Chains A and B, each alone.
Chain A
Amino acid sequence: MSVFNQPRKRVIQMIILGMVVLIITRLFFLQIVEKKYAKLADANAVLRKVIYPSRGIIYDRQNRSILGNDVLYDLVVTPASVKSIDTAYLCNILKIDKEEFRKRIITAIVKNGRVRQSVFAPLLAPEVFGQLQESMYLFQPGFELVPRQIRSYPYSAAANILGYIAEISPAMLKDTGTYASYNSGDYLGFTGLEKTYEPVLMGQRGIQYLIKDNLNRPQGAYENGEFDSAAVAGKNLRLSLDIELQVLGEKLMKGKSGSIVAIDPQTGGILAMVSGPSFDPNLLTGPYRSANFSKLYTDTTKPLFNRAIQATYPPGSTFKPMIALVGLDEGVITPSFGYPCGGAYYGCTRPIKCEHHDAGHAANLRLALSHSCNSYFSHVYRLSVDAGKFGGIRVGGMQKWADYMNNFGFGHKVGIDIPSEGRGLVPDKKYYDARYKGSWNSCTSVFLGIGQGELLLTPLQMANAMCIVANRGSYYIPHFVASIDNDNTHLLDKYKVRHDVAHISDTAYSAVIHGMTDVVESGTGRVAQIEGITIGGKTGTAENYGIVNGVRTKLKNHAVFVAFAPAEKARIAIAVIVENSGFGAKYAAPIASLMMEKYLKDSISTKRQPLLKTVMETVTIDAAMLAKSHLDSLNNNAVIKKKKP
């Protein structure tokens, strides 16, 4: 080994040099080759602080703010800085015991460590905040009050429309596609407009880079704020909704299950959408959100279920105008077509009863509509589907009819701008083939002619159908948002497109519309009359079956009323359903009428105040179900009380 032949001084020098070369090689890899350390150093020392913009405000059609922002306070704790404070006093203010206090401190340490802040008590109720603020100096520096924006609903109305925001869930965080830009702890829209318009409402988050020390304490701006970006506030939404109309609708639906949908036929803008019974949206903001949510979720009256778009009902007689439109468009009838009804329809094996038997009550379309003749529309339905040009019902007739229905917006989502819309059901050829194995005919589905049978529509679809009648064959997809401030999105494009659904002559439309104005003038819907306004309407009584103790049982009928006004050039089209309340004219028609009066005349006449009072006080929800419901007490105890509107 030659190295040992060298002078020992050289060997020692070699050892020293060897070690230093080893160190320098390592340094070379650490400092020059490996790039991750610079990034890690930044991750260590640069604190990326997200600046949350204020969320967009939602205004109604009169520019009244109906969903805004409020400030609540979180009590945050830095466990390491909690020293000799009056724990008992703090517990007393927060109404917790010492065990709970200890538990929360431990949770905070486990979650974020000793030297970083954790939320100790989120979203303090105003009176707790007041008490704390006064004596905060006693608890500092371990405890601090940190402001936090929350949503507030000054009218306590339109809960199911506006929706609510909540903290992003772990499952959503894993979905890096849709929620890539969100971090844990962020709030986002979960339902309603808050969800649909989340991208515009949330605004653009700002980022501030701060230098931090080893304990994550900010020490100043990083690179003099060169890389910071400012937060951009969320954009405001302007709705077609009329909040006063909405509030009235919710009052009218108090104690009733059902819904009201009112649309401006000329734009498709929704004026009011009530799902009864309704709840105060402020219940789902602030400190008690989760507790309230589970109470609402389990309530027997199902207030979270937006009946206006999610519930489906057989439309009953209110469907007859649509049957007429199909017959007219296909050319199987003309407005002067008459049917000799003698009190029932005998075209199929089982007679279908009609309310009228005087001769000539169905001598033409207008008369048949105003008298709601079952025989007439059963017959027209069968004529439509059996029409020779389609080769019979099982070849093309049924499918053609179903296509008409789909064009009218039935059997599929209409496309409203809040989530969870229902489809309803329009039975088509495939449906009957599957159900009756090919042996069926127009008698099998004859009940469709009077709006019963398999057909199911959402209240929104019914109201939209009224827009089609009022507009004489066209509609805009019903929607809430009329405009977005500084809009650069294409979210609203599809609501600006007119949809033409039938090509029927004006005289034919006039026959249908006259038939419907007669309903209110002199027919079944007289209760809906408003002084000085011509109303086209149609009552309906939807038969309704449910499973009671395992047996299919006929339940009390749903009352249905659809209308539009003024008939000459409609400004409002409406559908009202009051579940299990019997004949359509009894509750549904007055509610629709009061809504239309409020919207068209801005107030309810003194003459009709008693009616208003009666309707508001009527309770149609099953007494047993109502007894188990906590909805009223919840609504009365909503934490953030309505501001003066």
Chain B
Amino acid sequence: MNRSQAKLTQGIDWPIVGLYMALVIIGIMSIFAAEYRGDDNVWQDILHPSKNYSRQLIWFGVSIVLASVIWLTDSKFFTATANLMYAGGLLLLLLVLGIGKDVKGSHSWLVVGGFQFQPAELTKLCTNLALAKYLSSQETDFTKLRSRLIAAALALIPAGIIILQDETGLALVYFSFFLVMYREGLPGVLLVIAFSGIVLVLSALLVDRTILFTIFTVITALVIYFMRREIKRKRSKLALILGVYAFCGLFVMFVVPFVFTKVLKDYQVRRIEVMLGKENDPKATYNTRQSMIAIGSGGFWGKGYLKGTQTRYDFVPEQSTDFIFCTVGEDFGFFGSVIFLGIYVALLFRIIFVAERQRSTFTRVYAYGVASIIFFHLAINISMTIGLAPVIGIPLPLVSYGGSSLMTFTMLIFILLRLDADRQMVLR
């Protein structure tokens, strides 16, 4: 491809750029709505970035510069440096463990020249690149268990370090790479097992352990009774059933209590318990409650932009970051929320469409990675604002206030656009 003769923007996927812009602008407007008081001098605040919305505007500017730089970079740069970036990302994460700064109870921030920066955001990009690199390499046969384990390790090693930094919420996002792996051939039954696992965990939390164990025993007994003919024919089936039974039993009786007492933080346990309705700690439910009041009071059409009483008067904590969706819900109601979600769905589907038109596996895997990361953020973030998920504090992509987050998602998307523009090449 001869870039020098082509238009500078040739090959760019405009729908994605448009959706990206729409979300960032909605984000800045929402942050503005959350902070603005009637008597604020808006222009002065923009010139002297004392408010979140004015700072976010600056981050937006920085992001555009970054996007332009990425656009002007050769695609091969990303394939070539993918592993290097992954290694660098891991190093940064380890560095944070050593010299990081505590912000709001998590040890995941680096301070460079007055700016706070969260490497855990950036390593999502590194991991995505590394995974794409690994899965697209000719030596990789993803039908083999070994390759699958290596791919899983690539995704989960950063997650492990991030858990050590007390950012469990961000670590959870790394599980989104299993969606990518599913697309690349991981058996669908694993998704079912994962889903069953979630059900198992939830029931282990909700139902008394001894009762649950009794239920397992009864089910196992019934299964053995109804399958007694097949078991007679094939002894190994009995072993399988008993194996599953033993696993479930151990999981419920030991693993879940262990995780809850030893691995998770107290506040996380409490949030999960609150979400499951097991505990009614007014302090722990306050955020979710206020957030649901704000969104619920929006009604069908919403109260109108800058008319919300809940989001404007600080009732919802973390208003500009984790709970930014409340502003949309309150000011624009159900109608606006559905359109807002529609923009995300359009973006996700467009990315999947772009992914599927690639010739190179690298770009396809990378694109699915971007879609999966955005999807996980979206699903968890909005679920927690409407009381469907515990409050684990991850941002809404492109909308929430925060430089690290906005720049990471900008890079994720614009690298995709760069790779997509070069889809005629086979990248490895």
Contact = CB atoms under 8 A, between A and B. Distances in A.
Interface of A: 1, 3-4, 8-9, 11-13, 15-17, 19-20, 22-24, 26-28, 30-32, 34, 36-38, 40-42, 44-46, 211-215, 219-220
Contact of B297 (A19, A41, A211, A212): A41
B375 A19 contact: yes
A1 B329 CA distance: 37
B356 interface: yes
A225 to B, nearest CB: 16
A24 B368 CA distance: 24
Given A12-B183, A12-B368, A32-B299, A23 B382 contact: yes
B296 A37 contact: yes
Contact of B293 (A20, A41, A220): A41
30 contacts: A1-B188, A12-B371, A15-B179, A16-B348, A19-B379, A20-B344, A22-B388, A23-B341, A23-B386, A24-B337, A26-B387, A26-B388, A27-B295, A27-B329, A27-B334, A27-B337, A30-B292, A32-B300, A37-B295, A37-B296, A38-B297, A40-B293, A41-B293, A41-B297, A44-B290, A44-B293, A213-B313, A214-B313, A214-B315, A220-B38
A38 B296 contact: yes
Given A20-B344, A41-B330, A45-B313, 6 more contacts: A13-B349, A19-B375, A22-B388, A38-B299, A45-B310, A214-B314
6 tightest Cβ-Cβ pairs between the two chains A and B: A37-B296, A41-B297, A45-B309, A213-B313, A31-B334, A214-B314
Interface size range on B against A: 35 or more
B292 A37 contact: yes
Contact of A30 (B341, B356, B386): B386
A8 B388 contact: no
Most buried by B among A11, A17, A45: A45
Please indicate which of the listed interface residues A3, A36, A41, A219 has the most CB atoms of chain B within 10 Å of its own CB: A41
Contact of B309 (A27, A34, A211): A211
A579 to B, nearest CB: 60
Contact of A31 (B38, B296, B310, B344): B296
A50 B309 CA distance: 21
A563 B13 CA distance: 110
Which among A15, A27, A40 has the highest number of chain B CB atoms within 10 Å?
A: A27
Contacts of B330: 41
Nearest to A220: B38
Contacts of B296: 30-31, 34, 36-38, 40-41
Interface in B356-397: 356, 368, 371, 375, 379, 382-383, 386-388
A441 to B, nearest CB: 76
Contacts of A45: 309-310, 313, 315
A144 B382 CA distance: 43
A228 B130 CA distance: 64
A9 B386 contact: no
Nearest to A5: B188
A65 B177 CA distance: 84
B337 A31 contact: yes
Nearest to B345: A20
Contacts of B386: 23, 26-27, 30
A95 B315 CA distance: 40
B338 interface: yes
B343 to A, nearest CB: 11
* Chain B CB within 10 A, most for which of A23, A28, A213, A214: A23
Given A31-B337, A45-B315, A213-B314, A37 B352 contact: no
Interface in B324-340: 329-330, 333-334, 337-338
Contacts of B290: 44
Given A8-B182, A37-B296, A40-B297, A16 B313 contact: no
A23 B313 contact: no
A472 to B, nearest CB: 72
Residue among A11, A20, A46 with most chain B CB within 10 A: A20
A22 B389 CA distance: 12
Contacts of B314: 213-215
